[in-house]
Amino acid sequence: MSQPLPPSHLAATLVALLLALAPLSTTAQGFAGLGTTAEGFAQPTPGTPLTFPADHAAHPAYRIEWWYLTATLTAADGTPLGAQWTLFRSASAPNEGTNTGWSSPQVWMGHAAVTTPSAHYATERLARGGTGQAGVTAAPFSAFIDDWQMTSTAPAPADPLSALRLTASAPQFTYDLALTASAPLTLHGDAGYSVKSAAGQASYYYSQPFYNVTGTLTLPSGPVEVTGEAWLDREWSSQPLADNQDGWDWVSLSFTSGARLMGFRLRQTDGTAFTSATWITPDGRATAYPDGALTLTPLAESPTSGATVPTTWRVTLPARGVDTTLTALNPNAWMDVSFPYWEGPVTITGSHEGRGYLEMTGYD
């Protein structure tokens, strides 16, 4: 059962407007306004090399950005669980310029969730940039909003993202997790330049899909020791969706073989879709697949506390012999936040076995 905080209607509308900077009357503006125009903001260009650790920090010249972590966990008694930690940055104007402090155009939004087979708890935090309430620092790396943090625990020469401490709290849960990466970062698309539409919309996109997790998850019933795997996505852009795209279905799959698969399907208003995939070997070598190589097909829908969404999927990547079925751990993993969406752990069966995370936007 989902028990989100009652979100402040005003704050929700605020965020809605921030994310959808184009006029509200624009049709087919895509989920959360991500398909809207990006005047004055920097645009991703192919061939720009990503540099670390600098690119772990915020890119205020771009309109939107996120630090997105999902973890498939297992309690000591074998119960499968899921945890999500996300920090979004959204700007109404590029950079901060002279507008610092309480007039900063940067707004931060945090989402944290915990999913069990029978419950889904989601919560949201909002903060204005420039006040110190939320932000991301490069060295030492720390992404935070209020008491939630994703902070590097990696020793000096190692990449800051190779080891993290992750905390979040909500009225119904808290968690404190330690993450260690077993392979290097993965760059999606063309060395991190990830195309999102036939028209050329794109973002910078890299991941760390190889975290091992240990830690404690505190639920209303008490603390639970957990172990598992986690996947971090880093993405920034100014206009990732084309005008004719109204939402996406995204998966991050960890197979028992040690291989990983990232795939997404951007749904277009004419009923077609734009797909993209990255196959990652157990040692971290990535292969990007263009539009059409991956298929994501809904098999069965479930009613949730929000919209009715597909919670069983067929995912194929014939180039790698993948033909799997994804089943939601908890079909009601509805995120009842300013921008409602579905995000929750899935179980993989078929040609490959394993666990992963599914995200579906634009269904409400």
Partner 1 sequence: MTRAALSALLSHWRRHPGQLATLLLGIALATALFSAVQAINGEARASYAKAEARLSPDTPRRLDSPAGRVPPETFLALRRAGWLVSPVYEARLSRGGALVEGYDFLTLPPGALPGLGPTLATTDPASLIAQTPAWAAPETIAANPSLALTPAPGLPPGRIVTSIERARALAPDGGFTHLRLAPESALPMGRPPLVSIAPTLTISAPEGGAEVARLTRSFHLNLTAFGALSFAVGLFISYGAIGLAFEQRRSMLRTLRALGVPLPRLMTLMMAELALLALIAGALGLVAGHLIAAALLPDVSVSLAGLYGARVPGELAFRPGWAAAGLGIALAGALGAGAASFARLARLPLLSGPRPRAWARASAQALRFQALGGGALIALGLFAPVLLPGLVGGFALLGGLLIGAALLLPALLALAIAAAQRAAKSPLAEWFWADARQQIPGLRLALMALLLALATNIGVGTMVSSFRLTFTGWLDQRLASELYVTARSEGEGTRLRAFLATRPEVLATLPIWHVELPFPGGLSGEVYGIADDITYRDNWPLIASGPAPWDAVATGGAALINEQFARRQGLSPGDTLTLEDWSLPIAAVYSDYGNPNPQAIVAIDALTARFPDLPRLRHGLRIAPGDVAPLSQALIEEFGLPPSALVPNGEIKAYSLNIFERTFAVTAALNALTLGVAAMAILTAMLTLSTQRLPQLAPVWAAGVTRARLARLEALRTLALAAFTAAFALPLGLALAWALLSVVNVAAFGWKLPMHLFPGQWALLLATALLTALLAAAWPVAQLRRTAPSRFLQIFASER
Contacts to partner 1 by CB under 8 A: 5-6, 8-11, 13-14, 16-18, 21, 92-93, 101-103, 105, 107, 123, 126-128, 131-133, 144, 146-147, 169-174, 218, 220
Residue 60, Cβ neighbours under 10 Å: how many? 21
DSSP 349: E
d(CA 294, CA 278): 9
For tokens 């155009």, what's the residue? 105
Phi and psi at residue 55, to the nearest 5°: -75, -5
**Minimum gap (Å) between residue 71 Cβ and partner 1:** 19
Between residues 11 and 178, which has the closer beta carbon with respect to partner 1? 11
Residue 69 Cβ vs partner 1, minimum distance, rounded to whole Å: 18
Task: Report the nearest approach of partner 1 to the CB of residue 189 (Å).
Answer: 32
Q: How far is the CB of 118 from partner 1 (least distance, A)?
A: 19
Least CB distance to partner 1 at residue 15 (A): 8
Residue 184 pairs with which residues in a beta bridge? Answer: none
Give the residue with the Cβ less far from partner 1, 146 or 364: 146
The length of the chain, given as a count of residues: 364
Q: Which is nearer to partner 1, 216 or 256 (CB)?
A: 216
Q: How far is the CB of 303 from partner 1 (least distance, A)?
A: 22
For partner 1, the closer of residues 119 and 261 by Cβ is 119
| CA of residue 220 relative to chain centroid, distance | 25
Residue 335, phi then psi, degrees to nearest 5: -95, 100
In the complex with partner 1, the residue whose CB is nearer, 30 or 44, is 30
What is residue 116's three-state secondary structure? coil
Quickly list DSSP for 144-162. EETTEEEEE---TTS-GGG
DSSP of 17-42, one letter per residue?
HHH--S-TT-SS--GGGTTS--TTS-
Give 90 or 207: the residue with its C-beta nearer to partner 1.
Answer: 90
